[in-house]
Every structure is written in C-alpha cells, then in structure tokens.
Structure 1
Amino acid sequence: METNQILDEIRDINLSYLLLAKQMLRDDRVSAVYRLGINQDLADILDNLSSAQLIKMAASNMLLCRFRFDDRLIAEMLTSDNREQAVIKSHAAILMAGKPAEAIA
C-alpha cells in the first residue's frame, strides 16, 4: 500500500469517526461519552466543531480513534466464541468503563 493511499484511508476513517461521534453526541450525549470513551471536555469540542473544522481535523495523518483497551483479558473476552456472549460482553464493557477517559493534552 502506498503512503498516499494509507493517508487517504486514515482520512476516511477519521471523517467517519468524527461524523459518527457528532451524531451520537446529538442523539444521546451521556451514552455517547460512555461509548466513545471520551471526557466531557472532548465531547464539548467535538460537538462544537464546524464542518470545515471537522474536515480539517479528519485530514490529520494519524488515526483519531483508537482501541479503548490495552488489556489482553478484555481483547480475549471480546473475541471469544462462548455461549454466554451477553455476559462476557457486559463484563468487558464494565472493565472498559472503569478505565478513565484520557484528558486532553
């Protein structure tokens, strides 16, 4: 994959993520903050972005979204093939909810 193609893909992912985040924040802010794993300050920033700012932010050369966990246990729970999927996914969600949202640097 060429560098330009990778950057285009990153831009597309960023734009999709930002549009989804804004929609989620408009529909149900409390749920969106939880599901996106962001704090209220970042939610305010995202919610107030203009279309031009959103596009400019999406054009970054780094992914704006990331995995919310770096814990092998959570990854295994989410990918396991088990009959009790609802319980396992609920447990993983509880573990992830316990991790603090990162502050804006």
Structure 2
Amino acid sequence: MKKIHAESNSSTTKRIRPALTPEARQNQLISLAIDLVEKRLIEGTASSQETTHFLKLASTKAHLEEQILEKQKDLIEAKTKSLQSTERIEELYKEAMSAFRRYSGSGESDEV
C-alpha cells in the first residue's frame, strides 16, 4: 500500500522551531504579527488601525516617550544600586562596631 504525502505550501507557511519559554513564544508571535502587517502594508491591504499604529511609532512624541522611559529605567537601576550600597555600608559599620567592642574588652556580645 502506497502512502500519500500531503504537500505543504512552503511559500505561505514557514516552520518555526518550538519556543522553549513563554517569553520566546510571545516574541515569535509578535514577530509573525509584524511580518503579516508588513506584508499588508506593502500590498496596500493594511487596515487603518495597522497603518496608524506604525505612524505613531514613527512620531517625534513616541521617540521622546521612549527616551524618557529609558532614562526612568536607568534612574531606577541607579536607585537600586544606591540602596544596595547603603545596606552594605550599614552592615560594614555594624561589623566594625562589634569588632571595636570585642577589642576594647567591653564584652564578647555581638549586640548592636
């Protein structure tokens, strides 16, 4: 008995390696959606919402908002590093005070 092979149209579908994480899967779907909208824009069949979305992305306001978000991200990272540094300094002060107490003979207690 002969096996019948179903022909797949490789020009309209492309095989994508399965994603290993949910984030990777989301990125694949985003990429596919952008490819589809790009095809529609080229063919002139894109909806007004699709066209408007990409026009907004190209605007000066969108670029400024993106820069603001990037600066806010940098600021949050700097604040986080500062807090971690402050916590580490406090820990070092406590250790130093404990060492001074032990060396001065005022007791073996590690209480602060």
Is this a same-fold pair by TM over 0.5?
Answer: no
Question: Comparing both chains, which one has the higher relative contact order based on Cα–Cα distances under 8 Å and sequence gaps of 6 or more?
Answer: 1
TM-score by length of 1: 0.30
Rg (Cα) greater in structure? 2
TM-score by length of 2: 0.29
